[in-house]
Amino acid sequence: MLPVLVLFAVSLIASTHARISPRIEEPLCTVIKQGNDFVARLDAWGDDSIRIRIALDNIQAVPEVQAMLPDPPAQSMKQSVKPCSYIADSLTNGNLKLNLNDDGTFQAIRVSDQSVLVDSQMPDFNALNTWDTDHWAYNDPSIYASKYSLFNISVTYKHSKGLIYGLGEHKTGQMRYGTDQAPYTHLFEDSQVYSKSSGGDVSIPFYMSQAGFGVLMNQAGYGSISIDQQGATWTFNSTHQFDMWITTASTGQHEATPFPSISRHYADVVGHPNPLPHFASGFWQSKDRYRNQSEILSITGEFNRLQIPVEVFVIDWQHWQYLGDWNFYDLKNCWQDVDGMVKTLTSYGMHTMISAWPRLDRRSSHWKEFESNGYLTYNATGGVIVNPTDSTIVYDPFNPAARAALWSALVNGYVQHGIHLFWLDAAEPEGSAPGEQWWSGKNDREVGMAWPVQHHKMIFEGSISSGIPESEIIMLTRSVWIGSQLYNGFLWSGDISSDWQSFGVQVRLAPNVALSGIHWWSTDIGGYFNGQYESDDFQEMLVRWFQWGAFMPIFRTHGHRQPSEENEICGGGGGPNELWTYTHQDIITGVIMQREKMRDYVEHHLNIASQTGIPIVQPMWYNFTDDECWSLQSEDQYMFGPDYLVAPVLAAKATSRSVYLPKLPSNEQWVHYFSNKAYTGGQRVDIPVTLADFPLFVRSAKQQAKEAHE
């Protein structure tokens, strides 16, 4: 039997998703190929982008849980080549062509230079074995439809040689993946196991290549990636079909590099982030932990007296009696007047944020409701999955009724007191048992990576239903996945060490996280673990961390400082983390005021990210073509929007710092922010530093640079 090829064009329905920037509607091309033992579908899916799906029997159009938006973005008229065409077994969309062969292999080719971007084998479909079929049987529906066959699918392909970036947040601090010397392998489910991630690992199945293309795997389940400069192998533990999206840069673009174009295409297919709420661009004060109302009123009163602007004040965990109470426990007079406390903070111009965990203790006030209604995480035999560390059980956010029940609890425990900002700690979820969990008839092997998105959806939809404006919604969270940006999830990098090495890791992490489509991000300024707040080394490092943190999307300090405060009637906590605790209070205050002056800039460029998908945090090569921008030595500096080059000081007692200044047009120079000295681009320079300054450069026209220097 010869393969059957079906070619047709269908009308593109413009996405109604509110967070997609408007596009001009154009016809969408589709190619369907029926082979001897497979069926494949190619779709033009956004500008210069093609989606390829392969199955053994039939293609399911819209999985219930997926990375991509259900509808393709409309294509723009800006492409200089014909937007869509098909000949025989190939589809061309703008600057990308995909050839599909009779044996299921395929090649993605950039039209403008005929580069083969991806040369793939036929995906390998492995039927799940008898034990799997019996243990987590298909008696329950998969995300594709009831009773559809599921497979372990792997695919191996070669790709154009080049460094690989993206793939989420990984605590190694590795910025470039899969070099010839160090192939990179990662299990997605490790991101959800705290003993392996410390809450600092997020697996995003998207990467951007130095060769000028991007790849997204539209799979929400567990699996793995192994990648080097020659190619990649992806494995997905349980899915019905292979589903891959490939993009390249548009032709005729005005940018110097292809990467902004790739970011735009990626945002179009997964959804654009929202504009950052205004208050969120200011300073966030936090520690582990503020133990009672009196302590909070004393500390916020001192910030107010010193006229240091705090936009968000965070109340951490253990203000409850049991996990799953989701309220203030006031038996010991720790929280005797929450309404009054919140009103006082509001009068200081502060927004109050509260920590809420997704687990329930059997002794909690909401246990009976969640257990009797089936709102928990279960195994294949119907038993609850218990966290071995504290015997708590994670709730099921895939169940709309469970989401509504949790939001109702948060309203009664917090929102009625005037607190509507939530810190979703342990949101991987911590306490996961990968491969064993069932949520609303869905096995985690098929949907596990999307758990945080459903959790964020609970807060976002609940807030809207309670009349909270979208411009007032933001949630701090320890895990995200594709789609969290639609619900205003803000990621921080988990429980990290308070040392110079960890600080350097965070700096290198930041651009990769941004390239993965995570635009709202920060770390614990000063780190979380083992920060000896009285030590000179820690105090110096804290200043450097603050200087860097002011040039991140979210500016937030947190940590468990040592020595800890002694237990009292309201419990224990870390040592103090307020700026007046530290020797260099004046320098830190100056950094906070510098950030305050920059808030319009931060919000403007995060709004650009909302409109275009172009991140505010950019690696040096993102907009500059200098070879040195790709070097390892340049990975600890970055651009913050188009104007600021940031090179944090990452070593103790430093007296200088090497920085590469990229080439600029002849009428522009780099101006050192603190000295106003102008530098020509295209050179590496050693910049003298004191504790009060660091290499921060402003891109400026020569005349402006001259006036600033004078």
Same domain, 533 and 626: no
Q: Is the peptide bond before 429 cis (omega within 30 degrees of 0)?
A: yes
For residue 216 the two structure tokens come to 């997204």
Contact 461, 468 (CB under 8 A): no
pLDDT in tens, 353-388: 999 999 999 999 999 999 999 999 999 888 999 999
Listed in sequence order, the residues at least 6 apart from 345 whose beta carbon sits closer than 8 Å to its beta carbon are 296, 300, 313, 351, 352
Please report the pLDDT score of residue 136 as a whole number: 43
Residue for token pair 């007032």 = 472
What was the pLDDT predicted at 332? Answer: 78
Asked if residue 28 and residue 83 are part of one domain, the reply reads yes
**10 Å Cβ neighbour count for 252?**
11
CA–CA gap between residue 230 and residue 455 (Å, rounded)? 37
Q: What is the DSSP letter of 441?
A: T
Q: Please indicate, yes or no, whether residues 584 and 674 belong to a single structural domain of this protein.
A: no
For residues 559 and 437, state if they share a domain: yes
Examine residue 480 and state whether it is found in any structural domain, yes or no. Answer: yes
Stretches in the chain below the pLDDT threshold 70: 1-28, 76-83, 86, 129-148, 179-181, 702-710
What is the token pair recorded at 613?
Answer: 């998908």
CA 117 to CA 109: how far, in whole Å?
A: 6
Which DSSP letter does residue 507 get?
Answer: H
- Going by C-alpha positions, the residue among 484, 478, 444 that lies closest to residue 460 is 484
Distance set, CA 232 to CA 155, 178, 385, 464, 525 (Å)? 8, 9, 34, 41, 35
Give the domain CATH number at 516: 3.20.20.80
Does residue 287 sit within a domain?
yes
Contact (CB, 8 A) for 480 and 452 = yes
Q: Which domain holds residue 62?
A: 4-270
94 near 251, Cβ under 8 Å? yes
∠ CA 302-691-590, rounded to 5°? 35
E strands in 343-388: 351-355, 359-360
Q: What is the pLDDT of residue 96?
A: 97
489 and 556 fall within a common domain = yes
Asked whether residue 276 is assigned to any structural domain, the reply reads: no
Residue-wise pLDDT for 401-450, tens only, equals 999 999 999 999 999 999 999 999 999 999 889 999 999 988 999 999 99
- Single residue among 206, 237, 270 that ends a domain in this structure: 270
Q: Tell me whether residue 585 is in a domain.
A: yes
How far is Cα 669 from Cα 700, in angstroms, rounded to an integer?
A: 6
**Side-chain-facing half-sphere of 303: CA atoms under 13 Å:** 26
State the Cα–Cα distance between residues 133 and 140, nearest whole angstrom.
Answer: 11
Indicate whether 232 belongs to any domain.
yes
Which positions ≥6 away from 370 have C-beta within 8 Å?
324, 360, 376, 395, 402, 405
Last residue of a domain, one of 612, 644, 678: 612
How would you class 212 by CB atoms within 10 Å of its CB: exposed for 0-12, middle for 13-18, buried for 19 or more? buried
Residue finishing a domain among 217, 242, 270: 270
Residue 602 resides in a domain:
yes
Judge whether 512 lies within some domain.
yes
CATH for 687: 2.60.40.1180
Q: Are residues 249 and 309 in the same domain?
A: no
- Are 139 and 231 part of one and the same domain? yes
Query: Left if phi > 0, otherwise alpha if psi is -120 to 50, otherwise beta: which for 444?
Result: alpha
Same domain, 294 and 436: yes
- Count structural domains, the chain: 3
Is the CA virtual torsion 182, 188, 190, 191 positive or negative?
A: positive
Q: Are residues 240 and 295 in the same domain?
A: no
Residues 98 and 48: their CA atoms lie apart, in Å, by: 11
Considering the domain architecture, whether residues 213 and 318 belong to the same structural domain is answered as: no
**Closest to 12 measured CA to CA, from 46, 41, 42, 39:** 46
- DSSP assigned state of 348: T
| Same structural domain, 208 and 339 | no
DSSP state letter for 275: P
- Flag whether 275 is in a domain: no
CATH number at residue 101: 2.60.40.1760
Residue 582 has what pLDDT?
96
Q: Which residues are within 8 A (CB) of 192 and not within 5 positions of it... i.e. 6 or more apart?
A: 428, 429, 432, 434, 448, 451, 479
Do both 605 and 625 map to the same domain? Answer: no
